Amino acid sequence: MGSVEGKIALVTGAARGIGRAIAEELATEGADLILCDVKAEWLAETAAAVQAKGRKVVCLSADVSQSASVNAAVTEAVEKCGRIDILVNNAGITKDGFMARMTEEDWDAVITVNLKGTFLFTKAVGKIMMKQRGGVMVNIASIIGLIGNAGQCNYAASKAGVIALTKSVAKELASRNVRANAVAPGFIETKMTEVLPEDIKKQMLAHIPLNRFGLPRDVARVVLFLASDDSAYMTGQVLTVSGGMGM
Ligand SMILES: NC(=O)c1ccc[n+]([C@@H]2O[C@H](COP(=O)([O-])OP(=O)(O)OC[C@H]3O[C@@H](n4cnc5c(N)ncnc54)[C@H](O)[C@@H]3O)[C@@H](O)[C@H]2O)c1
């Protein structure tokens, strides 16, 4: 696997789940980490895991949906670390419900965190990467952004938006040696999915050819690939990590 040795990586939503696994995987392969989460008090465990691998870590409180919060976090990150080589836009939420009954608040909340949040971090870190004349962005989308899902029109739209944002940013920043790709996970075992009813989980499993739910590390290994020079000739792409679901 191509190295991220000595690189500085910023991961949003790093307190738990897929974000934590990504931070740990990047640290295992030699990167130093800037960990961001709206629940900064939850970052201690991820930070301890990164330090246990001998890497440096900075923890920042950041709400991806608030531009002032994002800009303050990115300014502090650069003050403390000097540069940002890798950005992983991972923070995300769900507020599921059928379209006919979905409230405007639930629509706005999901679009604001998942899509606007990705835009705000991409813009703030993109400026730095353009100045550096180099960097890599990996955005966590979802299989649902590719195939849709009953009961998740807000989430599906937000993740389809993340994919379109990724492709546009890839086209805008390629000449500055900045790459942007997306990962579209399927059903991954985290706090986000543990709340789903058992019958829904059973139905989902029936659509997964590899016949198991994914683990956060399954996603993190692919993020590592996209963050490393092994994917040096890839930009604007979406890699699905779903056990074959949605093919
Ligand atoms: N779990 C899955 O099956 C699955 C599938 C496809 C995509 N994803 C995506 O992967 C990403 C991570 O999901 P997860 O399953 O690890 O979820 P999770 O709920 O376990 O973790 C999400 C993290 O994001 C943080 N966060 C939420 N809102 C934030 C905000 N406004 N600002 C900063 N941080 C915020 C949370 O505090 C939490 O630490 C999300 O973008 C999600 O949509 C998850």
pLDDT (tens digit, 9 = 90+) per residue, 111-120? 999 999 999 9
Return the pLDDT at 3.
87
Give the number of the atom of ligand 1 that is nearest the alpha carbon of residue 213: 3
HSE, side-chain direction, 13 A CA sphere, residue 213: 16
Return the pLDDT at 87.
99
Tell me the CA end-to-end span of the chain in Å, nearest whole number.
Answer: 26
List the residue whose alpha carbon is closest to atom 2 of ligand 1: 188
List the residue whose alpha carbon is closest to atom 32 of ligand 1: 63
- In CATH, what number does 8-186+217-239 get? 3.40.50.720
Ligand 1 pocket by C-beta < 6 Å: which residues? 12-13, 15-19, 37-39, 62-65, 90-93, 113, 117, 140, 142, 185, 187-188, 190-193
Give the number of the atom of ligand 1 that is nearest the alpha carbon of residue 219: 10
Going across the sheet that includes 135-140, the strands are 57-61, 32-37, 8-12, 86-89, 135-140, 178-185, 238-241
Give the number of the atom of ligand 1 that is nearest the alpha carbon of residue 141: 7
Gap from CA of 127 to ligand 1 centroid (Å): 25
pLDDT (tens place) for every residue of the chain, 247 residues total: 568 999 999 999 999 999 999 999 999 999 999 999 999 999 999 999 999 999 999 999 999 999 999 999 999 999 999 999 999 999 999 999 999 999 999 999 999 999 999 999 999 999 999 999 999 999 999 999 999 999 999 999 999 999 999 999 999 999 999 999 999 999 999 999 999 999 999 999 999 999 999 999 999 999 999 999 999 999 999 999 999 999 9
Paired strand residues for 152: 97
Three-class DSSP category at 141:
coil
